[in-house]
Amino acid sequence: MAGVDRRMLDRIGGEVARATSIVRYAPGSHFSAHTHDGGEEFIVLEGTFQDEHGDYPAGTYVRNPVGTRHVPRSDGGCTIFVKLWQFDPEDRAQFALDLGELALAPVADAPGIARAILHERVDELVLLEQWDAGTTRSFDAQGGAELLVLEGSAEWQGHTYGKHGWIRLPAGWQCRIVAGPEGARVWIKSRHLAKLRLPPS
């Protein structure tokens, strides 16, 4: 679609794929009407994403389950982090959250970490966490995990991941990630890589 560009981060399949991408809408651009046969979730990173259901400014987390339909656009332009074809068809939760307005609670057994649960099922856990500077976050990623740094920075395997840095830990991986000197605010999704849901070939 004219004015809509994407950078693929993770993809299994053809044009219809289980995919994680960064998508940029130029000012005044739109995407054709479509149904989410595999579900969709996204975070607005910059600007304001729009559809017939409302306006979603930067910092909004949106879940659209299997079968939902919309006509996306952005009058002023926006950038989103989006995941497609990763929903259980029985997961019918549809919502939009302003991540900047959520109250985070300290985690009792993890000093320096505060957390809010955004969505939880047996096969999926979505969190928003705030890490104090220098805090170590351990991952026992039995079902895999993905992290998106929203603010601050995180250090892992000798690399620094700043704002909008992305890390993917396959199922079975264990590791420790350390918050940078300014701390980190991180969106985390786990459990979902143990069994991959794929679109029809």
* pLDDT above 80 (res 124): yes
Tell me the one-letter amino acid at 163. K
Compute the average pLDDT of residues 113-120.
98
- The pair of structure tokens assigned to 188 is 């985390």
Element (H, E) at 64: strand 60-64
More confident residue, 194 or 116: 116
Domains of the chain and CATH, by start: 4-98 (2.60.120.10), 103-190 (2.60.120.10)
* pLDDT above 90 (res 199): no
Exposure class string for 130-145: b at 16+ Cβ within 10 A, else e: bbeeebebebebebbb
* pLDDT above 80 (res 141): no
Tell me the one-letter amino acid at 188. I
Tell me the one-letter amino acid at 170. P
Average pLDDT, the chain: 95
- pLDDT tens for 38-96 read 999 999 999 999 999 999 999 999 999 999 999 999 999 999 999 999 999 999 999 99
pLDDT band of residue 1 (cuts 50, 70, 90) is confident
Is residue 58 within 8 Å of residue 16, measured between CB atoms? no
CA distance 184 to 154: 6
- The pair of structure tokens assigned to 184 is 């980190």
* pLDDT above 80 (res 201): no
